[in-house]
Amino acid sequence: MARTPTHAEFTRFLSSHLPPKPKDVSLLYHVPRNPSYNFDSAPVEQVILSVTATAQVYDAIGDPRAVRRPGVIGKRPGPEEQRQNNTICFLHRPFNLRRRWIRDDVLVLSSHLSFDEYLTVGWNTVLASRLGINVAESVCVQGYKGDADRTIGIVGSVSAILGLLLRSIEREFGAIEHAQEGLSEEIHVIAIMNAFHADEVQRVNEIAQEQQWVPTAQQSGKHVLYLTGQPRDSGLDEAKKLGMTVVCVGHRVAEQWGIEYLGKRIREKFPFVTVKEIYEDVDPLPN
């Protein structure tokens, strides 16, 4: 007979998708304050997934007795609200979390660097495969902001037409925030990168040349598509010099891709757990 997972089982599952990193936030970001809480036996009936803590997140995991927003989560619970689901919350960016607002039975899990690396526009092998990259023969881009071990992207060869690729990217993310056309409709290389400055653009072009995916020549980037989140002037300028196509889906949208992906994997693994994904911009909340 199927049953709901425990906090320990669910946390192990999440760790398999988001391996903890030494410099990352703690996976167990907020442990329940209830003295009777047991990590190994506490059941999970509901999972809340969000990029960060928002009003809707607090509606789902907040203590109704605390004063928050008038008429929303500052009210006392009615009879129909007395029974709260056993809940785990996952936040990619937990830094604004107000711990005193959370019910004393809720575990909050978090991953910042690992989520950026594996589930946005970085070393995202799932997305790479969907876009036609042969991951087994791809190159991992490492080193950023003084951290030589930090993984920031994947570069791989493809054989694709730009128009079809753009449709695939729109299908994955829902929209494209900014695009800069390159010098060719034929794309031989895709770089999925969560950093976008002139240095990163040059590194991608050098990798493409070293792998002999593009010729060593002026404007050698014309067969390269650089997929990233936030547009940056220095990156756009360097890509233009090289003839490279750039697609920026937006920082927030890239993060939401990861939340949606996690939701799908959790539903597959734990079909009896309710999963709620919250896609809400941060609104101002009172102290």
- As a whole number of angstroms, the distance between CA 262 and CA 258 comes to 6
- As a whole number of angstroms, the distance between CA 128 and CA 122 comes to 10
- As a whole number of angstroms, the distance between CA 101 and CA 58 comes to 7
Residues placed in the known binding site for a divalent metal cation: 116, 251, 255
- As a whole number of angstroms, the distance between CA 194 and CA 92 comes to 15
- As a whole number of angstroms, the distance between CA 270 and CA 73 comes to 29
CATH 3.40.1390.30 residue ranges for the chain? 7-114+257-278, 122-248
Reading the chain (287 residues) residue by residue, the pLDDT tens digits are 457 899 999 999 999 999 998 889 999 999 998 899 999 999 999 999 999 999 999 999 998 766 445 445 444 444 445 556 799 999 999 999 999 999 999 999 999 999 999 999 999 999 999 999 999 999 999 998 888 888 999 999 999 999 999 999 999 999 899 999 999 999 999 999 999 999 999 999 999 999 999 988 777 899 999 999 999 999 999 999 999 999 999 999 999 999 999 999 999 999 999 999 999 876 555 45
**Check whether domain 122-248 has CATH 3.40.1390.30, yes or no:** yes
What superfamily in CATH does domain 7-114+257-278 come from?
Answer: NIF3 (NGG1p interacting factor 3)-like (3.40.1390.30)
- The H or E element containing residue 125 is helix 125-130
> For residue 190, how far is the Cα from the chain centroid?
19
Residues placed in the known binding site: 116, 251, 255
The structure tokens listed for 121 are 């526009």
pTM value is: 0.89
